[in-house]
Amino acid sequence: MMRQMKSEGTTGPDCSMGLALVPPGILCLALLITGLVAAQAAKMDLSALPLPYLATGTAITFVCVLGYLFIAVAKLGLQRADSPIGKAIKPLVGRAPLLILPAVALPMSFAGLTAAKSAIPFLVGYTWDAYWANLDRTVFGDDVWRLAHRIFGTSNLWLWEWSYAVAWGVVLFFGSAVIALFGSKRLNGIFFTTLFTTLLLGGCLLAYVFSSAGPVFAHLFDPSLDARFAPLRQFLATNLGQGPIGITENYLASAVHSRIVVKGGGMSAMPSMHLAVAAIYILLARGTKWLIPAILFWIIIFIGSGYFGYHYWMDGLVGSVVAWICWVPTARLYRPRPKGGHVLQTAAA
């Protein structure tokens, strides 16, 4: 896996550490400033926000580093190598700056995104739900939660629930740490720059321009949609109980009118950052054995987003397009450039 991730997206010399870190760092700062400005404009309290995200990012990165060291030392031990611990640690020394990306930049970027999203109801409100709901019905022939329930039934509800509510976060945070541990500098630059650009463009800018809460929350802001999505809410209340979706739904609904920004808070359906992140993993996995799992992951998250009424399916399609739009110029930025200055074509582009 290490060799595969290092070679993915490059056909020439690797980029510098500065190029791998500076664009994601600038975008992380831009997300933080955006969240801060939005929260200040909405007169919101940010004191409870940064530390929980930062603790999550650093803890997961630390766990991944320990796992890497355990596996590396075990392999060297089986080979009866001298000083296996020292040899296992040595590659991490040069890679340490990359670990800042999942440990610090990723959680702080999500802190900025959360602050920006949490300010939406106070600054612009949610005014596009009826439009996206009707567009979904026009494109797919019915409200997509009804389609998802008819096609996939309810016998494996727990599987959909854990896949959508838990697996996505695990893949994002652990996957980011694995990329920092095993991926080339160029691969890290492409992934994190694309991710943070997508969060800024889609999760902040477009979330304000096309603000919507999603089917399960639409009644809180648009009474005309109350009856339309009441059966969905009743289904979820009856069948989910205190599972991850039920807990998350109550958490978001209770926090939406609060002026205290909390981790995981903030409603924003259009565009879906869940599907945008999944799409980035597909782009990252091209040409590797991870492509099919990445596509399956996107499909599961896409179905789950409509199944539980957190999104209109148009949210996921638009979010995925936004991710691709952000990927293309980023891949060009990170094309290998030889001394002569000619740009080499890369697989990532």
* Structural domain boundaries in the chain: 2-65+96-333
Instruction: Please state, in angstroms and rounded to a whole number, the distance separating the CA atoms of residues 74 and 14.
Output: 29
Looking up tokens 């106070």, which residue turns up? Answer: 122
Instruction: Please state, in angstroms and rounded to a whole number, the distance separating the CA atoms of residues 255 and 317.
Output: 27
Distance of CA 108 to the CA centre of its chain: 13
Looking up tokens 């200055």, which residue turns up? Answer: 341
Both tokens of 328, joined, read: 């293309």
Would you state the pLDDT for residue 338? 58
Would you state the pLDDT for residue 339? 53
Tell me whether the omega of the peptide bond preceding residue 23 falls within 30 degrees of 0, making it cis.
no
Would you state the pLDDT for residue 8? 44
- Beta-carbon contacts of residue 6 (< 8 Å; ≥ 6 apart): 182, 183, 184, 187
Would you state the pLDDT for residue 238? 85
In 3D space, the residue among 181, 187, 157 whose CA is nearest the CA of residue 2 turns out to be 181
Would you state the pLDDT for residue 73? 80
In 3D space, the residue among 11, 3, 5, 24 whose CA is nearest the CA of residue 285 turns out to be 5
309, 236 Cβ separation under 8 angstroms: yes
Residue ranges of the chain whose pLDDT lies below 50:
1-11, 340-349
Give, to the nearest 10 degrees, the angle between helix 226-239 and helix 144-152.
Answer: 40
Q: What are the respective helix, strand and coil percentages of the chain, to the nearest 5?
A: 75, 0, 25
In 3D space, the residue among 261, 243, 266 whose CA is nearest the CA of residue 165 turns out to be 243
Instruction: Please state, in angstroms and rounded to a whole number, the distance separating the CA atoms of residues 142 and 169.
Output: 29
Looking up tokens 């990306």, which residue turns up? Answer: 101
Would you state the pLDDT for residue 347? 36
Would you state the pLDDT for residue 1? 44
The string of pLDDT tens digits covering residues 198-249 is 999 999 999 999 999 999 999 999 999 999 999 999 988 888 777 788 788 8
183, 8 Cβ separation under 8 angstroms: yes
Would you state the pLDDT for residue 12? 54
Instruction: Please state, in angstroms and rounded to a whole number, the distance separating the CA atoms of residues 160 and 166.
Output: 10
- The pTM of the full predicted model, rounded to 2 decimals, is 0.89
